[in-house]
Amino acid sequence: MTDSPQPSNPLPAPGSQGPDIAFKWAAAFAAATIIALIILVGWELYAGSRLALAKFGASFLWSTEWDPVTDKYGALPFIFGTLVSSLLALLIAVPLGVATALFLTELAPQKLRQPIVMAIEMLAAVPSVIFGLWGIFVLIPWLRDHLFVWLKHYLGFLPLFQGPIYGVSMLAAGITVAIMILPIITSISREILRSVPNLQREAAYALGATRWEVLKIAVLSYARRGLFGAAILGLGRALGETMAVTMVIGNRPQIAASLFAPGYTLASVIANEFTEATTDLYLNSLFELGLVLLAVTILVNVAAQIMLKSMTGGSPIKVN
């Protein structure tokens, strides 16, 4: 028995708390890093935008002027563009993503599931700038010559679909971003739907429910909170999307009722103008736009959490 090999990595003596404590602190440190990062980003943005904060005060938020020549800056058209393009993207991507996830978990034949999942994951791997180029050269000509003309013809009585059609527009940006956030919404929704216990479905079937009723009663209502969480994650991506948006939105700081009109987003204007900003106030104002974007993102998320709470009665988002 003397030559039996020693285990190379002996377990700690029973009762030793060392590894437990070390792990606890390591995990706490990792969590603290994230909080510290957000605070640091916020602080740096604040420090970088002091001049603009002092000069414009709160009026920065509702001023619609953005004129580097006369050094007058306001954020409202960019806030508007960011919110509207992201909302459009969600309106398109959430139904599509959830429906795809439902198809994949509940309806599709086994053979089809894996290929479709792979196709969706490939979509997530396409770089933003490629979506932008595809938007300019493929999507926009098609939108301009077909979809937008159709919308204007049949829905032109709504202010949303009036005015000249250029192709590049708020709606084009919404559609492009929708395609970009589709993978994340679909994959998370799929995981959530998969985690719905089979017992739920079986119980519904046992009550004599049809397939659609099973989906409605047993699956969707059970997964509602998680699906909402998937939409919020998609929204987070949509708010910060930069390259593809700037290539298709038309980059015009204006607030227009029509979805055919060009717009501008916070992330896009920072990316566009940062490199050539020469005066201090200009640079500070661009920093302040970053601060506003951070605040908008946080506010939208908080609002979503509150909505979720009122919807589900206090329990946190269930992602798994």
Partner 1 sequence: MLPTKFMRFALLGALVASAAASASAQMLINGAGATFPQQIYTKWFDEYQKIDPSVRFNYQGIGSGGGQKQILAETVDFGASDGPMSDENLAKAPRTLWHLPTVAGAVVVSYNLEGSPAINLDGPTLAAIFLGTVNKWNDPMIVALNPDAKLPAADIVVVHRSDGSGTSFIFTDYLSNVSPDWKSKVGKGTSVSWPVGLGGKGNAGVAGQVKQTPGAIGYVELAYAHQNKLPFASMKNAKGVFMAPTLDSVTAALAAATIPEDFRFSMVNSPGETAYPISGTTWLLVYAEQKDHARGEKLVQFLRWAYSDGEKLAAGLDYAPLPDAVVKRALDRVQAIKY
274 is a contact residue toward partner 1 (CB under 8 A): yes
| Least distance (Å) between residue 129 CB and partner 1 | 10
220 is a contact residue toward partner 1 (CB under 8 A): no
Single out the segment in contact with partner 1 by CB under 8 A; choices: 27-35, 92-100, 111-119, 268-276.
268-276
| Least distance (Å) between residue 265 CB and partner 1 | 11
Site string for partner 1, 154-173 (x = CB under 8 A): ----------x-xxx-----
**Which residues, 105 to 134, sit near partner 1 by CB under 8 A?**
none
Burial class (CB in 10 A: 0-12, 13-18, 19+), 58: exposed
Single out the segment in contact with partner 1 by CB under 8 A; choices: 198-206, 230-238, 262-270, 306-314.
262-270
- CA 104, 109, 112, 114 torsion: positive or negative? positive
Q: Which of 224, 252, 309, 318 binds partner 1 (CB under 8 A)?
A: 252
Query: How would you classify the pairing of strands 66-67 and 72-73?
Result: antiparallel
b or e along 232-269 (b: 16 or more beta carbons within 10 Å of the residue's beta carbon)? Answer: bbbbbbbbbbbbbbbbbbbbbbeebebbbbbbbbbbbb
| Least distance (Å) between residue 211 CB and partner 1 | 45
Q: Which of 250, 258, 266, 288 binds partner 1 (CB under 8 A)?
A: 250
| Least distance (Å) between residue 283 CB and partner 1 | 7
| Least distance (Å) between residue 105 CB and partner 1 | 40
Site string for partner 1, 55-74 (x = CB under 8 A): ----------xxxxxx----
Cβ 136 vs Cβ 224: under 8 Å? no
141 is a contact residue toward partner 1 (CB under 8 A): yes
294 is a contact residue toward partner 1 (CB under 8 A): no
6 is a contact residue toward partner 1 (CB under 8 A): no
Single out the segment in contact with partner 1 by CB under 8 A; choices: 110-118, 153-161, 274-282, 288-296.
274-282
Count of positions on this chain that bind partner 1 (CB under 8 A):
35
Q: Taking the CA of residue 73 as centre, how many other CA atoms within 13 Å lie in the half-sphere pointing to its CB?
A: 28
| Least distance (Å) between residue 44 CB and partner 1 | 16
Q: Pick between residue 117 and residue 271 the one whose CB is nearest to partner 1.
A: 271
In the complex, the residues that contact partner 1 under the rule CB under 8 A are 8, 65-70, 136-137, 140-141, 144, 164, 166-168, 246-247, 250-253, 262, 264, 268, 271-279, 283
